[in-house]
Amino acid sequence: MKKITVKKQAIEKIKSFNPWIYKNEIKKFPKDVYKGEVLSVYSPNGEFLGIGYINPLSVITIRMLSFFKKEDINKEFFIQRIKRAFKKREYLKKITNAFRVIHSEADFLPGLIVDYYNGYLSLQINTAGMENFRKEILEALIEVLEPKGIYEKSDEKSREKEGLNTEEGILYGNIPEEIIIIENDVRFIISLQKGQKTGFYLDQRKNRKIVSDYVKKGFRVLDLFSNTGGFGIYCGLKGADFIKFVDISENAVNLIVENCKLNSIKNYQVVQENVFDFLKEEVKKGEKYDIIIIDPPSFAKTKKEKEGALRGFKYLILKSLQLLSEEGFIAVFSCSHHVDMEDLKDTALSASKDRKTPVEIVEHMYQDIDHPYILNIPNSLYLKGFLFRKCII
């Protein structure tokens, strides 16, 4: 195994179990390394720090697989990591048949994401290092999880950055066009072939329940960026009188209709439209809602995009405050690491000042437990949000 030496500033990161080493933190490259090659990582004074894989094409040049321990990266390595990750999630089977099994760096398998949907797996292999172990990973997943089928839906942008082509399709067994999953007694139809990301936003499971617990009989609910209708359907099952779903995706709005039928939701409307345009018109109409959910896709995939993202959030919160009933609630979420909880709070505060209404935060919300937040890995905390309401004074 070839050796690579990192600079002094990278040593503390590795000793803190942060798995990302950037190109400018590397002191000495070995000769003729290939993308995804596994290397031993050393400090300038020769101290062994662990094992990682390298990609000279990537800004994140080394991703650590093992810390302070010399071990073979083979099928057995992946079997043990997958078993450990699965064991942490087993208790979720009491409330759902769909959960994330492997969450990349947060399960110490950087570049690998695996979701479980009622016996089927959705897989992302997003780095050259994981791509080089594709055979071992598939064999390990089949041995440990015994799935009926595995569908690959790797992230195109991530693979492009790694110098990899993107392929999508069935890797093992069979994949039905639709799979029915259950969480907290709510049922959803998902499509691994047509759905966004790996099939469903499992990370919001806990938050869907938290928000819906505030529903009272007679409530009108507005579910913005609704995807397949998760938040709104939860609210409908808790007694909301009317739900309006808004999403720009044709596939998403079609699944909303199917999911409403599946859960016997009767009084609802589905709008296929850009949310920003929709809100402008809805304010003109003078509509009012008792719960509004703002759960957009990532507005800031890079730090440079943060300012624009916050402007977007400000607009969404301002318009939602105009549509909110006197004692209504707004749930707002950011799934970008670059927009943190304080950014969201500051934006909501600015909107409340503009609307001349104080607001009260009643819940702080984060990604569910099957998307672990490892304190040593700051980027593993990515989903954050809060539920707030107008104060009456």
Select from 167, 201, 195 the least CA-distant residue to 183.
201
Per-residue DSSP letter, 366: E
CB 142 within 8 A of CB 172: yes
Give me the DSSP letters along 252-274: HHHHHHHHHHHTT--SEEEEES-
**Cα torsion angle, 36, 37, 41, 46, sign:** negative
CB 37 within 8 A of CB 29: no
CB 203 within 8 A of CB 189: no
Please state the φ and ψ torsions of residue 270, each to the nearest 5 degrees.
Answer: -115, 125
* Strand order across the 149-153 sheet: 98-103, 112-117, 120-125, 149-153, 168-173
| Residue 335 designated active-site | yes
CB 192 within 8 A of CB 199: yes
The span from the CA of 358 to the CA of 190, in Å, is 39
The span from the CA of 87 to the CA of 90, in Å, is 5
The span from the CA of 10 to the CA of 29, in Å, is 14
Q: Is 186 strand, coil or helix?
A: strand
Burial state string for 199-238 with b = 16 or more CB within 10 A and e = fewer than 16: bbbbbbbbbbbbbbebbeeebbbbbbbbbbbbbbbbbbbb
CB 71 within 8 A of CB 44: no
From the candidates 235, 260, 335, 391, give the one annotated as an active-site residue. 335
Show which residues are catalytic. Answer: 335
